[in-house]
Every structure is written in structure tokens, then in C-alpha cells.
Chains A and B, each alone.
Chain A
């Protein structure tokens, strides 16, 4: 099978599994909803203030919710020794990683699409800057969370208490990406400054870590 075929097969399998069980997406959606509601209770801002803090709140909520989905990524493959089977098969490691990363990207994007209207309603948001810039910010930001998240989730498979290990690894490493997403979103919402630098930073982050993940995933998969 070619590289592309393996990626597509694994991705299709994951989406079908998720479609039937809806384990990750249900947990993630409800978790994100809880975070949004709790944030609205914890901070009760006026429309002007909320424009300044909403960028931070949105991305922190997505980050927390993404961890719920990321933890499920590989756990599913441990039951029935699917990962071991993959390891002994002649298939290369990278298509598997890409399929998992794309799968998570789809789940987290879906979550964002469903949660953003809620955020807009609860925080009475209206972008004062160029709103179309939010699209590249969301795409690049989600990929930044998901690519490293998928990789670190595979790493935390090799640890005790792996559910807690993933955020402990992912959060410190994601600080530049988080700064990028939050500041770019705030820049667009307030319209006071340009989001260009932050979008470029996100792009750089994505390129650097996508390359690194593809270079090193084989080491992680074989590590057993």
C-alpha cells in the first residue's frame, strides 16, 4: 500500500469508529461547554472587556478540550494490541501518525465550529479588525495544538498515568503557539494592531514541529 493509501485507510477507520461510538467527541464537546459556562461565571465582563480577554478564554478552552480527544487517540489502539500489529507490519510509521493527526484535527475543528457561536453569544463578541484573518488563525492554531498533541500522546503511552502526562508535556511546549493564537485572535477582535506577526509565528511553529514529528515518530512508535 502506498503512503497515501495507508493514511486514508487509517483516517477512515478512525472516523468510522468515532462516528459509531462518539466517545471522544461527546466527552470533548461537553467538557468544552462546561469550560465556556464556568468561564462566563468566573469572569463577567462588559462587551469592551470581553473583546480583550475572549481570545485567551477561547483558546484555553479549546486546549483543555483538545487534551480530552488527544488522550483517546492511541488508547483505542492499545486494546486488542492494534499498535503491536501495526508495528510488526511492513507499513511505515509516518502515515499512521499523519492519519491520527488529521483525525484529531477534524475532531478539534468540529468542536471549534460548534463552540465558537456559543462564545460569541455569551461574550457578545464582534470583531473590530479583519474577521477573515480568524480563518487562518484557527486552522494554523488547531494544527499547532494537534500535531504536537498527537505526538506527545504517543509518547505518554510509554508512561505510567499517561492521561496526566500528556498535558504536562503538551502545555509547556505549546507556549509559543498559545501566545500566537491568543494574541492573533485578540488583535483581530480589538482591531488595534496587526495579527500578521502572530500568524507568521504560528506558521513557523507548525512547519518546525510537523517536520520534527514526521522525523521522529518512527523512534516513538518503535520504542517498546
Chain B
């Protein structure tokens, strides 16, 4: 692997430990929710990172359809995979936070539902890639990724209207964020972005190696057939 990789790994480790310290010790305790609120520093950055990765998946898919470059396809695959991981973190930390604060594990609120539907869409995208046979997987995967991105605004508006029609019993956080909290939040986001980058990079190199092995195996069996 390239030389930048260990540097990024060290930076990520340092930043993650610093962010952990900031979130658990430095950040002020929230007045009404108490220490439970600190999950906020993991929940929100994970969500932002997941959405960013899904956006990267969309751009990479368009790039693939235009340029047909294998790199764009691998970037699309990797960003969707790591995005689903971060989205899963959001969907798990959310209920853990909601239960003590709202008294319920789940509510069909706009943001929760949107995140869940996004998760479903990208899991089905990954399933398609897994199930797909033949050499044209990148092409149909790119098309489905674009369909997924087109679906997002429609999902947003449908749930938005669905929910404004039936107001949820839960009162959102609202108000402004304490600047000290915002500061810790941003540090955590930076750490999570580094982690996402590191994961994507590792997964990307893995994919490159895997494809190379598959190619050479195909070549070998071809040669054997010729002999």
C-alpha cells in the first residue's frame, strides 16, 4: 500500500482518541438530558459521514456511466459499503439515545424514517451487486445507484407530508447548540471522516487485490483450456 496510508491511520487513531476525550470529558453536560446526550457526538457525525458517502456513491456512479472507468466503479462500491456501515451506526445509536430521553425506541419522524429508507435502498444496492453475475455488474449497479439518488427527494417529501399531517408526540431538540458542544461535534466529525476515509481506502485496496486475483485465475483456467 502507499506511504500515505500509515500516516492516515496514525492521524485517525490520534484524532479519534482526542475526540473521545473531548466528547466524554471536555464537552459540557447537557442540562435536561444529562450524560446520555453525549451519544450525540457519535450519532450526528456518523449520520453526516453516511450521507456524504452516499453522495460520493452517486457521483462515482455517474462518472462510471460517462467514463466507464473501473476506478469509479470501485469507488461507488466502497462508498456505498462504508456508508451503510455508518448509517447502521446512526440507526443503532439513535434508539439508544431516544429511549431514555423520549421514552420510546423509535418514532416515524422525518429524519428517522428518511435514514431508515436510505439504509434500505443502499442495502438493496449492495445485495444487487452481490447477486449480480457476469461482467456488467458495474453498469447495472451504477444505474440502480442513480435511481436511488432520484428516490431520495421523493422519499423526503412523502415522509415530510406524512408526518406534518400527523404530528409526532416527540418534541425535537430545537434551539441553538452551545458553541462548546458544536466545537466537540466538529472535532468528532473530523475524526469520523478520517475513519471513513481509512476504511474506504482499505476496502478499495482489498477490492483491487481481489479483482486482480480473479483476473489471474480466469487467465490461468483459460491457459489450461488451451493446453
Residues of B within 8 A of A (CB): 65, 117, 120-121, 123-124, 127-128, 131-134, 136-137, 139-140, 142-144, 146-148, 150-151, 154-155, 157-159, 161-162, 165
Q: Contact partner of A223 among B136, B147, B157, CB < 8 A?
A: B136
Query: Nearest 10 CB-CB pairs, A to B?
Result: A223-B136, A176-B154, A172-B120, A159-B131, A176-B158, A179-B158, A223-B139, A216-B143, A172-B124, A172-B121
Q: How far is the CA of A168 from the CA of B131 in the complex (A)?
A: 11
Chain A contacts of B120 at CB under 8 A? 172, 175
* 14 A-B residue pairs with CB within 8 Å: A169-B144, A171-B124, A175-B120, A175-B158, A179-B158, A179-B159, A201-B161, A204-B154, A204-B157, A205-B154, A216-B146, A219-B142, A220-B140, A224-B134
Q: How far is the CA of A158 from the CA of B135 in the complex (A)?
A: 10
Count of A-B contacts with CB under 8 A?
Answer: 90
A209 at the interface (CB under 8 A from B): yes
Could you tell me the dominant secondary structure of chain B's interface residues? helix
Instruction: Please judge, given known A-B contacts A205-B154, A208-B154, whether A165 and B140 are in contact too, CB under 8 Å.
Output: no
Q: How far is the CA of A176 from the CA of B160 in the complex (A)?
A: 11
Residues of A within 8 A of B (CB): 148, 155-156, 158-161, 165, 168-169, 171-173, 175-177, 179-180, 183, 193, 197-198, 201, 204-205, 208-209, 212, 216, 219-220, 223-224
CB <8 Å contact, B155 and A176: yes
Q: How far is the CA of A171 from the CA of B144 in the complex (A)?
A: 13
Instruction: Please judge, given known A-B contacts A175-B155, A220-B140, whether A197 and B132 are in contact too, CB under 8 Å.
Output: no
Q: How far is the CA of A173 from the CA of B121 in the complex (A)?
A: 6
CB <8 Å contact, B124 and A159: no
Q: Which A residue sits closest to B124, measured CB to CB?
A: A172
Q: Contact partner of B151 among A155, A173, A183, CB < 8 A?
A: A173
Q: How far is the CA of A223 from the CA of B73 in the complex (A)?
A: 15
Q: Which B residue sits closest to A183, measured CB to CB?
A: B162
Chain B contacts of A204 at CB under 8 A? 154, 157
CB <8 Å contact, A193 and B165: yes
CB <8 Å contact, A160 and B159: no
Q: How far is the CA of A75 from the CA of B131 in the complex (A)?
A: 17
CB distance from A220 to the nearest CB of B (A): 6
CB distance from A181 to the nearest CB of B (A): 11
Chain B contacts of A201 at CB under 8 A? 154, 157-158, 161
Instruction: Please judge, given known A-B contacts A173-B147, A175-B155, A204-B154, whether A158 and B133 are in contact too, CB under 8 Å.
Output: yes
